Amino acid sequence: MGEKQTCTVLFEPSNASIEVAPGTLISAAASAAGVRINLPCGGQGRCGRCLVQVRAGHVARRASAKLPQELAQQGYALACQATIYEDAIVFVPAQEEMERVLVPVGGVSQKAAKAEQFLVPPEPEVQRCYVQLDPPSLEDNTADVDRLRRHLASQCGLAGVSLGLPVVQRLGRALREQGWRVTATVEQPREGGGLWLIDVAPGDAASRLYGVAIDIGTTSNVVTLVDLHTGKMLATASAYNAQISCGEDVISRIIYARREDGLRRLQALVVETINGLIRQLADKRGLALDDIVRATVAGNTTMLQLFLAVDPQPIRLAPYIPAMTHAVGVRAREVGLGINPEASVDCLPCVGAYVGADITAGVLASGMAESDQLSLFIDIGTNGEIVLGNRDFLISCACSAGPAFEGSGVEYGMRAAAGAIDGVWIAKDFEPTWRTIGNEKPRGICGSGMIDLLAEMFITGLVDRNGRLAKDLPTDRVRMGEHGREYVVAWADETAIGRDITINEVDLENLVRTKAAIYAGFNVLLDSVGTSLDDVERVLIGGAFGQYVDVEKAIEIGLLPDMPWDRFHFLGNTSLAGAYQCLASRERRRQVDEIGAKMTYLELSADNRFMDAFTAAMFLPHTEMSRFPSVEAELAERGSA
């Protein structure tokens, strides 16, 4: 059989077909057939967004980091990197389909799948029991409370239940209006302490046992409604933390709290935000707020203190002291949380001023504390918090990364909202292609977009290893602006804001500082326990932001260490996942306390090694290029291309 002169390519699902010469790129064939395939990186094989599935015929694939082995085995190929040599049927997936297919390494959210992996067997610290009391008589004139306690012991096996004034105040009416048939909500604290009756609901409400897991982020608040009987997550809702109006980051919130009534206002704002989410979830499931009988809360130390109206000033100034690291007994009514007013509001343990319950919860959810493998857990948000360890030890630090990745400190930075550029590819002619959230016209650049942008600018030679914009390049996109030299990412007429969206050298320096702080952080951690990156078996990336980071690009700028991609695991919102687990399972709740107690906190501001490591990391990707062999190789390849 000789070589075919032409090959027929049928594109599905459009059913367009075309004859092409052997050796034609799939992307070129599609273009000729009038089938639209996006090529955000300009056909360089670097964005992985032109994924297609070859359903018949053989194609030649160029190796690409964006095409993992398992996908290639399923027939997937990158349209810009695969050439046709025989008749073929090529399926062009819709955008959403592609998102589902692409592995996390591609930086794609797989929220639904992730939530499932955190499920735990339900064993909550609160239960409901339906009791049918004998009505009182002259012969049996036991007091209401004592009568209820007697029946809780005999009918539910709950002996020695205590209760507080608010329940006593409601009990008499509840019992009489309900014909002495009520549902008791009883807490069983995991650590000693007796049974505690928090509520008496009318009739048989035993099946309605709900809780909320709450993640209080500096930027976003997320609430998951959980059925505590099954341990299932019923629904999740998120919103911006309304405290944003009082400051973008933790420090500005703390400063705001110094104002008269500032602390009270911050507390009210975050509670309003959360209550809105809870109402939304309860409405959606048609359930009563009183049936939500427990809340478990994760968040950074400052967010938790603000939520509890505990003055956070000592967190801001050396020696950076939180008010508490362990849960104190809090009832929903004490903080105005819109669930059953007597429900426990369980704030998870913090480790220090800058390693909060979002991290202990994250470590819990990541499973690293139960593993023999040495893992590095990273949560990149306003700060970068890092934990190194395994089942034997945990050591943590917080890098003052600054909020650059959350859109602050960068002129056109913005949060990950509709219209944010969240992916960027730059072609050899320095022309960019970008993707926006919601496919809207761009309004700014969010964190993952900035990492992409910095990486692409570095790889294409737009910025040098110092993070400076190159001069005299053959492009009008590099120019002098108000804040020094700048690169135009999008022209005014392409945007939703009617202005050029640019990135300038001040922005670039902020981004480099941020990535340097994080990279320095885990180097100091590793150093402090006498180990190195080579020994790290897994890099677990938590936090909502981490979900969208493109590993390849994060390595290119020296934010993440240069190691095989299969060691990176994107876990999504681990703070929320940990809160969920602690809500649903007393055993997990106990474990997070152990994690908090076991975790050492390394204060970097007191550590000279950190300043050295930070300075060394202020290059792209790093002063020592040998730490980033894959980047070195790529640059070499580029340089020779």
Enumerate residues 6+ apart whose C-beta is below 8 A from 231. Answer: 119, 120, 121, 122, 584, 585
Closer of 292 and 355 to a second copy (Cβ) = 355
Contact 597, 396 (CB under 8 A): no
* Shortest reach from residue 398's CB to a second copy, in Å: 12
Nearer to a second copy, 322 or 442 (CB): 322
Residues 319-348 that bind a second copy (CB under 8 A): 319-326, 328-330, 334-335
Half-sphere exposure of 63 (CA within 13 A, CB side): 0
Instruction: Count CB atoms within 10 A of the CB of residue 173.
Output: 11
Show the site string, 280-309: x = touches a second copy by CB under 8 A, - = not.
Answer: ----------------------------xx
**Can you read off the two tokens belonging to residue 451?**
């990492």
Closest distance between a second copy and the C-beta of residue 135, in Å? 9
Cβ neighbors of 169 (< 8 A, separation 6 or more) are none
Judged by beta carbon, residue 606 or residue 633, the one nearer a second copy is 606
Q: Smallest gap, in angstroms, from Cβ of residue 473 to a second copy?
A: 46
72 or 310: CB nearest a second copy: 310
Of 175 and 225, the one with the shorter C-beta distance to a second copy is 175
Q: Which is nearer to a second copy, 144 or 248 (CB)?
A: 144
181 binds a second copy (CB under 8 A): no
Distance CA 249, CA 268 (A): 17
Stretch that binds a second copy, among 47-55, 59-67, 124-132, 312-320 (CB under 8 A): 312-320
DSSP string, 489-531: EE-GGGSSSSS-EEEEHHHHHHHHHHHHHHHHHHHHHHHHTT-
Nearest CB to a second copy, comparing residues 377 and 601: 601
**245 versus 605: smaller Cβ distance to a second copy:** 605
Smallest distance from a second copy to CB 304, Å: 11
If the CB atoms of residues 240 and 320 are measured against a second copy, the closer one turns out to be 320
Shortest distance in whole angstroms from residue 176 CB to a second copy: 7
Which residue in the set 113, 159, 288, 318 belongs to the binding site for a second copy (CB under 8 A)? Answer: 318
Q: Which of 311, 356, 348, 619 is nearest to 463 (CA)?
A: 619
Q: Is 313 in the site for a second copy (CB under 8 A)?
A: yes
With beta carbons less than 8 A apart as the criterion, state whether 220 and 244 touch: no
Identified binder of a second copy from the candidate list 4, 176, 258, 638, rule CB under 8 A? 176
Smallest gap, in angstroms, from Cβ of residue 210 to a second copy?
23
Residue 58: other Cβ atoms inside 10 A: 11
Verify binding: residue 603, a second copy, rule CB under 8 A: yes
Q: Measured between alpha carbons, how far is 630 from 227 in angstroms, rounded to an integer? A: 46
DSSP 3-state assignment of 596? helix
Q: Which is nearer to a second copy, 185 or 219 (CB)?
A: 185
* Cβ 246 to a second copy shortest distance, Å: 19
Binding span for a second copy by CB under 8 A among 7-15, 179-187, 286-294, 315-323: 315-323
- Cross-sheet strand order for the sheet of 88-91: 16-20, 7-12, 88-91, 51-56, 76-78
**Neighbour count for residue 633 (Cβ, 10 Å):** 10
Q: How far is the CB of 218 from a second copy (least distance, A)?
A: 20
* Shorter beta-carbon distance to a second copy: residue 176 or 285: 176
Q: Where are the alpha helices (DSSP H) in 118-158?
A: 144-156
| Residue listed under structure tokens 């580029």 | 638
**188 near a second copy, rule: CB under 8 A:** no
User: At 445, phi and psi to the nearest 5?
Assistant: -125, 130
Q: Are residues 345 and 358 in contact, defined by beta-carbon separation less than 8 angstroms?
A: no
Burial (Cβ within 10 Å: 0-12, 13-18, ≥19) of residue 36:
exposed
Closest among 368, 376, 362 to 536, alpha carbons compared: 376
Is 42 a binder of a second copy (CB under 8 A)? no
From 1-9, 171-179, 376-384, 443-451, span contacting a second copy (CB under 8 A) = 171-179
Instruction: Kindly state whether residue 261 participates in binding a second copy, applying the rule CB under 8 A.
Output: no
Question: Omega before 93 cis (within 30°)?
Answer: no
When the beta carbons of 166 and 484 are compared against a second copy, the nearer one is 166
Kindly state the DSSP code that residue 371 receives in the 8-state scheme: -
Nearer to a second copy, 62 or 176 (CB): 176
Return the number of the residue (146 or 534) whose C-beta is nearest a second copy. Answer: 146
605 near a second copy, judged by CB under 8 A = yes
Tell me which residues in 420-439 interact with a second copy (CB under 8 A). Answer: none
Q: Give the x-and-dash track for 350-379 against a second copy (CB under 8 A).
A: x-xx--------------------------
Residue 314 near a second copy by CB under 8 A? yes
At 156, list the tokens.
């539910």
- Among residues 353 and 577, whose Cβ is nearest to a second copy? 353
State the Cα–Cα distance between residues 434 and 21, nearest whole angstrom. Answer: 31
| 601: contact with a second copy by CB under 8 A | yes
Does 162 participate in binding a second copy (rule CB under 8 A)?
yes
Residue 174: CB minimum distance to a second copy, A: 11
Whether the CB-CB separation of 529 and 393 falls below 8 Å is answered with yes
Find the shortest distance in angstroms from Cβ 336 to a second copy: 12
Which of 578, 571, 549, 552 lies closest to 563 in space, CA to CA?
A: 552
Residue 489 makes contact with a second copy by CB under 8 A: no
Subset of 119-148 contacting a second copy (CB under 8 A):
136-146
DSSP bridge partners of 8:
19
- For residues 238 and 221, the answer to whether their CB atoms sit within 8 Å is yes
Site for a second copy in 192-211 (CB under 8 A): 192-194
CA distance 310 to 551: 38
To 10 degrees, the CA torsion angle through 516, 521, 522, 523?
A: 80
Of 149, 154, 151, 132, nearest to 203 by C-alpha is 132
Q: Is 173 an interacting residue with respect to a second copy (CB under 8 A)?
A: yes
Asked if 498 touches a second copy (CB under 8 A), the answer is no
Tokens of 303: 């967010």
Site size for a second copy (CB under 8 A) = 52
Q: In the complex, which residues of this chain contact a second copy (CB under 8 A)?
A: 136-146, 162-166, 168-169, 171-173, 176, 192-194, 308-311, 313-314, 318-326, 328-330, 334-335, 350, 352-353, 601, 603, 605-606
